[in-house]
Structure 1
């Protein structure tokens, strides 16, 4: 007889015999764990912990929307609380001030990553982003990746009239996307924009990473990026396979898809990097991979531990991820908010017409003069809060936070969704209102309000692609909204219920329509 469990929405079939065996093993483990508790120094106390089930802990309490449940628990237990998933204690941090204290002011204490099973499946366990390493070698590789990304994204491009490489790539892809949407309107008359946005964003980060070597529109590339949902559905805070080891050995379709995606993606990146290396010229570096190759050759002896051919593959794997899924999800959510808020769309387009006109294309240099569009993007980040948790952290040493003792190697969940929906910060968090980010006269972004939005984490593990992501989302939307008016037919209900994952997606909508706002040459 098989019993079907659903944990975080993931179906897991377990036979009765396996369940009994697992129960016996976990009873023993639970007894051992309960009899061993870290000693709390005098004058300190352990974080408060709600009652949880034996063996299971709070896994059933969390349900399909753990970010919401943990936000509710923080109202009762405070910004620092502890839960258990299985028998593993997990620290949960909420509240903007508490999170800033942990990740910024005490950043060295909270910069670690837990050694989770799912993390070992990403880039064969060598991911800079997910690997537990947080020492000097990790820091040096992170600086190297950050510099390479900046050089071929936000830095100026001497060979182009565009302000930077990113503007050049995004402008080309946005024009292609405009053409694709018009083609779909002249055919079916409606479309689902998500897949087309995925391909366009992949082409942008692919061009920055690989230059002319990136196989745009190849079946292999499209197959990989279009199945990225297999990654974000499993790379979540609270994946049961990370806390119930026996689940690794039981039938688990979601886990198999996760493994398959990681292997396919790694093979795709490795193959593209190797093809690039065959005609690499260190005197003509034009993309991120070329910059990493040059660094490797220039520092082959002095920094042999820092970067090798395989490490180049691993870094590019991380950089592609940093410049792909978050941006794709942000643009997709933005279009859903646009079609459900036509008055907001009109305000954005009035601003675009007033500042830019219709004779030229928007540029990144226009960003400071388009505060309403920027406010709309910030409100999309806040309201959707599509990255509900950061990638889990862990403590690197015994520490304290808000008077609570936190032992070394404690797994830490950072609840970004709670910050973005905290009534104490926002007053009316459930309302979609871009004006909350404008100054009183509406002519600029309120810097204080904008800094309260939490999406890219903060501190030593802050997303290295944040600046690129903000610029890219702005430019894609500015170009699209200058030329097209988006809508859905009357009577069509757009579902904005997020599906929990590393990045939360909205349900797909195939009824989107787009019409030209003015004729083009």
Structure 2
């Protein structure tokens, strides 16, 4: 038996050694690692994006890391990221998923991993292009569809404002209220109707997302991706993963069934799920596509938006002058009587710039989802072979002092011109909070709308204050907790109702 074990160990060691000696990225610089495990033991999962930024400062805008036998190219500056996402987006359009994502988004209702059929995690193919097209149509981001989305959002946002005020001026953590508000907006978008917080659908989604958070906090998904056989050894992430997938699949299957019944009866809700099921009936999408796309819409839009808003509150209690300027603009453009609309954005450059700076400063999604080359190509002057994993460090790009002076300072004026107008997109160098190119976030339009409506609606009605003015929590996003998204350490705020009169004068 001992002889067999020794043989197996020898084979594994020789295999690893051969992989390292025949590196396909030998010409690209990077931190020196262990001869057997590469840089795997050096990675800090709690501050990975900052560690990669520091390595980028040492080894250059393009460098490599080694995780056992897998070599990964990391890009961390605007010119090289632009090359990957825009100039050569066709070359880098693939998706590299580890076991974790392939299990989560693999075959519906089965306890196994497989190729995802959604948009976010599906590899680039003709099927991906088709899914992306019909996802856009289901979201109805333009025309009359946006009006319905705004209506759903405003109902929930006003409920959140009421919830904030219900604390009666006592300190509270805003995270839960914002999370519930964002979650219900996304459920309403999918089902095409308002859903109460005590409903079965809301409770189930809330439970699933909590399981997902538990899975992130386990912290060993990277190990599971590298060694899938760890699932047979009591891996905590795998147990949470099973629980997540089982509950997620059951709920989304029930939603698809509800949509099928609605289409058959003619009592349509015009929700995104219903529209996708119609495409399924017409043979334009598969069942797996519909299931995966609904999952993308639901989960991608909740954590990022709610976390960005919560982090923005942390900024506001540290920057009262910013809050006052936003409120002055709200009072002048909207007043205190009517609700904000998306049309107000064109007349509120300071508010829009404050939101853009929050997206840059906090960079909720510090690392974009991994890309994969689909042909031999290059970036930053380095050759990159086909089938190479590429990490895009959005955090490093957004905190690059070559483009943003004093990048760890929140400064609204970065996104305003000399005349006070909002800088146009083509002048916002080194700023890509939603990505760009073939893999751009499908929910960007909806996310921008939600952020504006939430900020304008809330600050129209209330002042956001710190719990203790002599001990305000640190807003430095480099000190946030990293678990897929960059999450602020829990903090409390105090909310007081504003007194408006004379058309909004304070």
What TM-score do you get using the length of structure 1 for normalisation? 0.85
- Residues 1:483 and 1:468: Cα distance change in structure 2 (over 3 Å): same
Q: Which residue does the alignment assign to 1:220?
A: 204
Query: Distance between the aligned counterparts of 1:431 and 1:211, measured in 2?
Result: 41
Q: Which runs of no fewer than 5 residues in structure 2 stay unpaired?
A: 107-113, 502-506
- In 2, the alpha carbon distance for the partners of 1:231 and 1:96 equals 32
Structure 2: distance between partners of 1:142 and 1:185 = 45
**1:330–1:282: structure 2 CA closer, same or farther, 3 Å change rule?**
farther
For 2:347, which of 336, 348, 369 is the aligned residue?
Answer: 369
> 1:338: how far off?
1.3
For residue 171 of structure 1, the aligned residue among 148, 154, 177 is: 154
**What is the CA-CA distance between 1:284 and the residue it aligns to?**
4.1
Alignment size in residue pairs: 480
Is 2:474 the counterpart of 1:476?
Answer: no
Residues 1:412 and 2:393 are matched in the alignment: no
Render the CA deviation track for 1:135-188: whole Å, top value 9, x for unaligned.
Answer: 111111111112211x1x54325xxxxx612211111011111111111226xx
1:427 partner SS: coil
Instruction: Indicate the RMSD between aligned Cα atoms, in angstroms.
Output: 2.6
**Distance verdict in 2 for CA 1:519–1:49, change over 3 Å:** closer
Return 340-349 or 28-37, whichever deviates more.
Answer: 28-37
CA 1:26/1:385 → structure 2, altered by over 3 Å: closer, same or farther? farther
Moved more, 421-430 or 223-232: 223-232
Aligned match of 2:240: 257
Give 1:290's aligned residue: 274
Distance in 1 between the 2:21 and 2:311 partners?
Answer: 47
Query: 1:46 matched to which residue of 2?
Result: 27
Q: Partner residue of 1:141? A: 131
Report deviation, 1:292: 1.4
Structure 1 gaps of 5+ residues are 1-18, 158-162
Distance 2:315 2:445 in 1: 22
The 8 Å contact of residues 213 and 275 in structure 1, kept in 2 or not, is answered as no
SS in 2 for 1:239: helix
Q: CA deviation at 1:519?
A: 6.4
Deviation at 1:132, TM superposition (A): 4.8
What SS class does the counterpart of residue 74 from structure 2 fall into? strand
What do the CA deviations read for 1:435-469 (whole angstroms, capped 9, x no partner)? 11101122333544535322212211111001110
CA contact (8 A) 1:375 1:434 kept: yes
- What is the CA–CA distance in structure 1 between the aligned matches of 2:8 and 2:120, rounded to whole Å? 28
> In 2, are the aligned partners of 1:86 and 1:244 still within 8 Å (CA)?
no
The answer to whether residue 144 in structure 2 is matched with residue 156 in structure 1 is yes
SS class of match (2:72): strand
Instruction: Tell me the secondary structure at the aligned position of residue 323 of structure 1.
Output: helix
What's 1:15 paired with?
Answer: none
Give the whole-Å Cα distance in 1 for the aligned partners of 2:269 and 2:242.
34
Residue 517 of structure 1 and its aligned partner are, at CA, apart by 0.3
SS at structure 2 position matched to 1:443: coil
Q: Distance in 2 between matches of 1:22 and 1:474?
A: 58
Contact 2:262/2:268 (<8 A) preserved: no
SS in 2 for 1:441: coil
- CA contact under 8 A between 2:352 and 2:422: conserved in structure 1? no
Task: Report the Cα distance in structure 2 between the residues aligned to 1:319 and 1:140, rounded to whole angstroms.
Answer: 16
CA distance in 1, matches of 2:208, 2:356: 29
Q: Which residue of 2 aligns with 1:9?
A: none
Match of 1:463 in 2: 441
2:432 maps to which residue?
454
CA contact (8 A) 1:122 1:130 kept: no
Distance in 2 separating the partners of 1:478 and 1:364: 10
Task: Flag the 1:475–1:232 CA change in 2: closer, same or farther, 3 A.
Answer: farther
Task: Give CA deviations for 1:467-489 in whole Å, capped at 9, x if unaligned.
Answer: 11011111111100110111122
Any conservation in 1 of the 2:191–2:271 contact (CA below 8 Å)?
Answer: yes
SS at match of 2:179: helix
How far residue 227 of structure 1 moved from its aligned partner, in angstroms, is: 4.3
Given that 2:317 and 2:472 are in contact with CA atoms closer than 8 Å, whether structure 1 keeps it comes out as no
Residue 47 of structure 2 is aligned to residue 65 of structure 1? yes
What's the TM-score once normalised by structure 2's chain length? 0.88
In the aligned structure 1, how far is the partner of 2:186 from the partner of 2:320? 31
CA distance in 2, matches of 1:271, 1:235: 31
Superposed CA deviations along residues 383-421 of structure 1, whole A, max 9, x for unmatched, are 111111100111111212232121111111101001000
- Aligned partner of 1:33 among 19, 24, 27: 19
- Bigger shift: residues 360-369 or 209-218: 209-218
Alpha carbons of 1:171 and 1:315: their partners in 2 closer, same or farther (altered >3 Å)? same
Q: Distance in 2 between matches of 1:335 and 1:394?
A: 36
CA deviation string 1:353-394 (max 9, x = no partner): 111111211111001111111111111111111111100111
